[in-house]
């Protein structure tokens, strides 16, 4: 008999869960207070990156990357994925030492996707880069894709497999009902045997209702996009000691993201940019690509993102209820991981051991008392 599942949140992770659960014959309803892709999943920088991942995330990022190669066979659309590579640039010798150590650490774990490149190789790959940069760490095959198109493709495929999407309904209450749950929003009620929490920056509210609070902060990563420029950048660029993501699209526009955050209003569900923060992000770009000083910014925006205290997501079973699965808190780097979340959620729903190692992402890590 098909089990009823309610997924709260129609971001990439909710759509991924919906698709894989529907594939397995579950009766899936996805509920979103806005619409699919309205928040982080639809407005992000589109970076598809294994480079620089937390060690616990590397196996997931590699598995997700394999799915990105085969996106068309999964959802009938390549989602705009362009495997142009990513490079973390060293701005000085200290950065170079950090990257050297990082390459060694990753190789010691048995992975070889991150490779140190010297000044000459860096210059060959990034001719417009400022001359002072001594090298970088490259990950060939990484790249970028189109976020909103991705969410839409996964949502459509989930619908083709039978999932039902209900938009414009905010879940405001969850209570036990029989062996399952009753979720309420507005005038509507949804009964479920299994609840999947993919509520992004609002997932902490659901956790509170379920009796397992988590240290989640809503942050507002900011982006800006330039006018069309002549092609000068064939790969995605990041920095080593300061946050930066920098890429040029086929139409010539350049997307710039950085570490300085905007302002979140979690109650009104909006994120706003801060001019001083955008200026700081722009400064980083100009110091790496001096000619960008003349580039005109056409548009800026910010998105609401769930950031965990330890900057890795929560993926796994609830610690309190055997019919709740969590997948949230992707801490500003969850877009790339979207394709594998659904597979993990489906394994957990079917009480199968997930094929990927998810122990580090357990919600229980926040419940372990600190050692004396
Ligand atoms: C500006 C920006 C740039 C980024 N750049 C990158 C990048 O380059 N590469 C990368 O890998 N990651 C990036 N990220 C991070 C990535 O976008 C997120 O980690 C990922 O999209 C999170 O997806 P999600 O499905 O968990 O959350 P979301 O996409 O936020 O979806 C959660 C959904 O839940 C819904 N919801 C919440 N509460 C309720 C409720 N009570 N009732 C009903 N619905 C509810 C919300 O409306 C929302 O649609 C970026 C994020 C931002 C904001």
Q: Closest residue (by CA) to atom 2 of ligand 1?
A: 44
C-alpha span between 24 and 28 (Å, rounded): 10
**Is the CB–ligand 1 distance for residue 34 below 6 Å?**
yes
**Is the CB–ligand 1 distance for residue 53 below 6 Å?**
no
**Is the CB–ligand 1 distance for residue 135 below 6 Å?**
no
In a domain, 73, yes or no: no
**Number of domains, the chain:** 2
**Is the CB–ligand 1 distance for residue 30 below 6 Å?**
no
How many angstroms from the chain centroid is the CA of residue 266? 19
Whether residues 287 and 151 share a domain: the answer is no
**Is the CB–ligand 1 distance for residue 60 below 6 Å?**
no
Q: Which of 271, 302, 333 is the last residue of a domain?
A: 302
Strands 221-226 and 297-302: what pairing?
Answer: antiparallel
Q: Which CATH number characterizes residue 126's domain?
A: 3.30.9.10
CB 60 within 8 A of CB 208: no
Q: What integer is the mean pLDDT of 210-231?
A: 96
**Is the CB–ligand 1 distance for residue 247 below 6 Å?**
no
Q: Which CATH number characterizes residue 191's domain?
A: 3.50.50.60
**Is the CB–ligand 1 distance for residue 292 below 6 Å?**
no
CB 87 within 8 A of CB 117: yes
Whether residues 159 and 208 share a domain: the answer is yes
Helix (H) or strand (E) holding 118: strand 115-118
3-state secondary structure of 204: helix
- pLDDT above 70 covers a percentage of the chain that reads 98
CB 316 within 8 A of CB 325: yes
Q: Which of 302, 333, 355 is the last residue of a domain?
A: 302
| Cα 304 to averaged position of ligand 1 atoms, centre (Å) | 7
Confidence band of 371 (pLDDT split at 50, 70, 90): low
Q: Average pLDDT of the chain?
A: 96
In a domain, 81, yes or no: no
> Of ligand 1's atoms, which has the minimum distance to the CA of residue 220?
53
Q: Closest residue (by CA) to atom 7 of ligand 1?
A: 47
In a domain, 285, yes or no: yes
**Is the CB–ligand 1 distance for residue 199 below 6 Å?**
yes
Whether residues 134 and 118 share a domain: the answer is yes
Whether residues 359 and 236 share a domain: the answer is no
Whether residues 294 and 244 share a domain: the answer is yes
| Cα 223 to averaged position of ligand 1 atoms, centre (Å) | 15
**Is the CB–ligand 1 distance for residue 281 below 6 Å?**
no
Could you report the per-residue pLDDT of 306-339, keeping only the tens digit for each? 999 999 999 999 999 999 999 999 999 999 999 9
3-state secondary structure of 244: strand
What is the model's pLDDT at position 1?
Answer: 44
Whether residues 241 and 274 share a domain: the answer is yes
Angle at 101 (CA atoms; ends 98, 103), nearest 5 degrees: 110
C-alpha span between 178 and 70 (Å, rounded): 41
In a domain, 71, yes or no: no
> Of ligand 1's atoms, which has the minimum distance to the CA of residue 42?
29
Q: Closest residue (by CA) to atom 33 of ligand 1?
A: 9
Whether residues 276 and 298 share a domain: the answer is yes
Could you report the per-residue pLDDT of 139-195, keeping only the tens digit for each? 999 999 999 999 999 999 999 999 999 999 999 999 999 999 999 999 999 999 999
C-alpha span between 43 and 39 (Å, rounded): 6
Kindly report the length of the chain.
Answer: 372
What is the model's pLDDT at position 334?
Answer: 98
> Of ligand 1's atoms, which has the minimum distance to the CA of residue 336?
11
Q: Is residue 269 scored above 70 in pLDDT? A: yes
Q: What is the ipTM of this complex?
A: 0.99
What is the model's pLDDT at position 109?
Answer: 97
How many angstroms from the chain centroid is the CA of residue 229? 27
Whether residues 125 and 152 share a domain: the answer is no
Q: Is residue 223 scored above 50 in pLDDT? A: yes
Give the chain's count of helices (H) and strands (E).
10, 23
In a domain, 371, yes or no: no
Q: Is residue 260 scored above 90 in pLDDT? A: no
| Cα 155 to averaged position of ligand 1 atoms, centre (Å) | 14
Q: What integer is the mean pLDDT of 282-289?
A: 93
CB 37 within 8 A of CB 123: no
**Is the CB–ligand 1 distance for residue 40 below 6 Å?**
yes
| Cα 30 to averaged position of ligand 1 atoms, centre (Å) | 15
| Cα 333 to averaged position of ligand 1 atoms, centre (Å) | 10
> Of ligand 1's atoms, which has the minimum distance to the CA of residue 172?
41
C-alpha span between 97 and 183 (Å, rounded): 52
Structure tokens at 241: 């000691």
Q: Closest residue (by CA) to atom 21 of ligand 1?
A: 41
- To the nearest 10°, the Cα dihedral for 131, 135, 138, 140? 60
Whether residues 327 and 286 share a domain: the answer is no
**Is the CB–ligand 1 distance for residue 146 below 6 Å?**
no
C-alpha span between 22 and 165 (Å, rounded): 12
**Is the CB–ligand 1 distance for residue 86 below 6 Å?**
no
Whether residues 165 and 257 share a domain: the answer is no
Q: Is residue 370 scored above 90 in pLDDT? A: no
Q: What range does the domain containing 208 cover?
A: 4-63+147-215+310-366
Q: Which of 253, 271, 302 is the last residue of a domain?
A: 302
In a domain, 77, yes or no: no
CB 184 within 8 A of CB 172: yes
Whether residues 152 and 296 share a domain: the answer is no
Could you report the per-residue pLDDT of 51-100, keeping only the tens digit for each? 999 999 999 999 999 999 999 999 999 999 999 999 999 999 999 999 99
Among the listed ranges 53-67, 70-84, 114-128, 263-277, which one has the minimum average pLDDT value? 263-277
How many angstroms from the chain centroid is the CA of residue 133? 29
Structure tokens at 149: 């198109």
Q: Which of 37, 268, 316 is nearest to 150 (CA)?
A: 37
Helix (H) or strand (E) holding 278: helix 275-288
Structure tokens at 267: 């109650």
Whether residues 322 and 290 share a domain: the answer is no
In a domain, 70, yes or no: no
| Cα 125 to averaged position of ligand 1 atoms, centre (Å) | 32
Strands (E), 193-343: 194-197, 216-219, 221-226, 236-239, 244-248, 254-261, 263-265, 270-272, 297-302, 305-308, 314-317, 324-328
SS3 sequence of 14-80:
HHHHHHHHHHCCCEEEEEECCCCCCCHHHHCCCEECCCCCCHHHHHHHHHHHHHHHCHHHHHCCCCC
CB 29 within 8 A of CB 219: no
**Is the CB–ligand 1 distance for residue 95 below 6 Å?**
no
C-alpha span between 15 and 39 (Å, rounded): 13
């Amino acid at each position: 008999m098909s089990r009823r599942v309610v997924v709260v949140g129609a971001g990439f992770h909710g759509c991924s869960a919906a698709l894989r659960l529907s594939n397995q014959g579950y009766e899936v309803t996805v509920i979103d207070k806005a619409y699919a892709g309205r928040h982080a999943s639809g407005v992000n920088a589109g970076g598809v990156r294994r480079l620089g991942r937390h060690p616990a995330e590397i196996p997931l990022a590699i598995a997700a990357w394999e799915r990105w190669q085969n996106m068309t066979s999964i959802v009938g659309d390549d989602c705009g994925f362009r495997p142009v590579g990513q490079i973390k640039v060293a701005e000085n010798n200290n950065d170079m030492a950090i990257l050297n150590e990082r390459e060694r650490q990753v190789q010691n774990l048995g992975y070889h996707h991150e490779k140190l490149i010297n000044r000459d190789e860096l210059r060959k790959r990034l001719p417009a880069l400022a001359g002072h940069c001594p090298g970088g760490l490259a990950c060939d095959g990484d790249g970028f894709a189109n976020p909103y198109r991705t969410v839409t493709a996964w949502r459509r495929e989930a619908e083709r497999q039978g999932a039902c999407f209900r938009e414009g309904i905010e879940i405001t209450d969850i209570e036990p009902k029989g062996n399952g749950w009753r979720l309420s929003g507005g005038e509507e009620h949804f009964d479920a045997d299994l609840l999947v929490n993919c509520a992004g920056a609002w997932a902490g509210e659901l956790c509170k209702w379920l009796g397992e609070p988590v240290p989640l902060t809503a942050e507002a990563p900011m982006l800006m996009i330039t006018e069309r420029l002549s092609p000068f950048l064939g790969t995605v660029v990041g920095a080593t000691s300061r946050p930066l993501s920098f890429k040029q699209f086929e139409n010539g526009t350049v997307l710039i993201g950085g570490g300085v955050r905007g302002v979140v209003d979690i109650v009104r569900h909006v994120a706003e940019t801060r001019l001083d923060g955008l200026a700081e992000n722009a400064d980083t770009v100009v110091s790496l690509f001096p000619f960008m000083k003349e580039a005109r910014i056409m548009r800026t925006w910010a998105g609401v993102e769930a950031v965990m205290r330890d900057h890795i997501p929560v993926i796994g079973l609830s610690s309190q209820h055997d019919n709740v699965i969590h997948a949230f808190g992707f801490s500003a780097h969850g877009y790339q991981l979207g394709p594998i979340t659904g597979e993990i959620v489906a394994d957990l729903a079917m009480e199968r051991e997930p094929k990927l190692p998810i122990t580090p992402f357990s919600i229980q890590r926040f419940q372990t008392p600190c050692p004396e």
